[in-house]
Amino acid sequence: MKNRLKVYRAMYNLSQEELARKLGVTRQTIIAIEKGKYDPSLKLAFKIAKFFNVKIEDIFIYEEEKEKQQTKKRVSKLS
C-alpha cells in the first residue's frame, strides 16, 4: 500500500522520532511505513489520520491491482 506519511510528517515539520512518540510507536515503525515495507494495522492507520486531521484515504492509498498480483504469486508458490 502506498502512503503519503512522509509528506504529512514534513508538512507538520516533525521528525520520524517525534511522530513515533506522538503515536506511541517506534521510529522503526514510522520508517517502515514510509518506505512501504510495513502496512500499519487499521487501528494505527486511523490513529495517524486522526493525528493529521485528515481522512485515512488521504494518507494511505490502496493498490488493488498490486494486491491481486501479490496474491497470485503467493498462490502459485503454494501449488
| 6-61: pLDDT as tens digits | 999 999 999 999 999 999 999 999 999 999 999 999 999 999 999 999 999 999 99
Classify 2-78 by CATH class. Answer: mainly alpha
C-alpha separations of 5 from 32, 72, 76 in Å: 11, 28, 33
Strands (E), the chain: 2-3, 60-61
- 65-74 pLDDT, tens digit per residue, is 565 566 666 7
Q: How far apart are the two ends of the chain, measured CA to CA in Å?
A: 26
Q: Look up the pTM and report it.
A: 0.78
Q: Any idea what the Cα angle at residue 27 is, between residues 22 and 31, rounded to 5°?
A: 120
**What are the structural domain ranges in the chain?**
2-78
Please give the Cα distance from 42 to 69 (Å, whole number).
Answer: 22
